[in-house]
Amino acid sequence: MQNKDVIRKAYDLFSEGRMEEAGELFAPDAVWSFPGKSRLAGEYRGRDAVVGEFLPKFPKLSGGTFRASVVDIADGAEHSFVLQRSQAERDGSTIDYTACHVFKVQDGLIRTVHTYPYDAHAQEEFWG
């Protein structure tokens, strides 16, 4: 299985609400870095933090309206790159934005993810 296949499977499982199964695709010491100062921002260390704390914030803060879809995905020599489209509603506001996620996958497990939003200001404003 190529690295991009692991990532796509994780997206599919998350979109289906199958967090526990998606969590199995992350290394026990995985790290997800999310920039900014919003309620989503931070460095989430460990599978439990990524899957148990960070990722559930999106549906929680959006009243279950958050949707993420893969626009494009590519494997590089050491990293995989995902262009993601995200949509959500919150407190009467809507957002539709793109972000680039840089994944490091080793031995079939996601090790690191770094998020780079296209419009960091809009993302900060929306997520508060």
Domains of the chain and any CATH numbers: 3-127 (3.10.450.50)
DSSP-derived pairing of the beta strands 80-90 and 67-75: antiparallel
Residues contacting 5, CB < 8 A, separation 6+: none
What tokens appear for 63 in the block?
């009243």
What's the pTM value of the predicted model, to 2 decimals? 0.92
At residue 128, does pLDDT exceed 90?
no
In contact, 113 and 33? CB cutoff 8 Å:
yes
**Mean model confidence pLDDT for the chain:** 94
Give tens-digit pLDDT for 72-113. 999 988 899 999 999 999 889 999 999 999 999 999 999 999
